[in-house]
């Protein structure tokens, strides 16, 4: 039998990502349990880069390098 999922298991944090080429993606979801600390250059960046690798692997279109990551305002 599996354990009951808590609210923190389902919690997401949202981020806006700006790439070096000027492309922007908004409301990128990162599971809060995947984050080691509130660290934009560490665990948040690693989670978003992993998502980018997965997306580019499926689509065949590579993503550029990340310029900045900011929390989505108002969420």
Rounded Cα gap, residues 35 and 50, in angstroms: 13
Say what the pLDDT of residue 15 is: 92
Residue 9 tokens read as: 């298991």
Whole-model pTM: value is 0.76
**Residue 74 in 3-state DSSP?**
coil
Residue-wise pLDDT tens digits, 15-57: 999 999 999 999 999 888 877 666 656 888 999 999 999 999 9
**Residue 71 CA, distance from chain mean position:** 10
47, with CB counted inside 10 A (0-12, 13-18, 19+), is buried
Closest CA to 5 of 35, 32, 44: 32
Say what the pLDDT of residue 75 is: 57
């Amino acid at each position: 039998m599996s354990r009951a999922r808590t609210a923190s298991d389902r919690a997401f944090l949202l981020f806006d990502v700006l790439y070096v080429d000027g492309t922007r993606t908004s409301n990128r979801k990162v599971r809060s349990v995947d984050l080691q600390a509130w660290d934009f250059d560490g665990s948040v960046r690693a989670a978003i880069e992993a998502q980018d690798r997965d997306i580019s692997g499926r689509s065949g279109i590579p993503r550029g390098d990340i310029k900045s990551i900011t929390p989505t305002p108002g969420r």
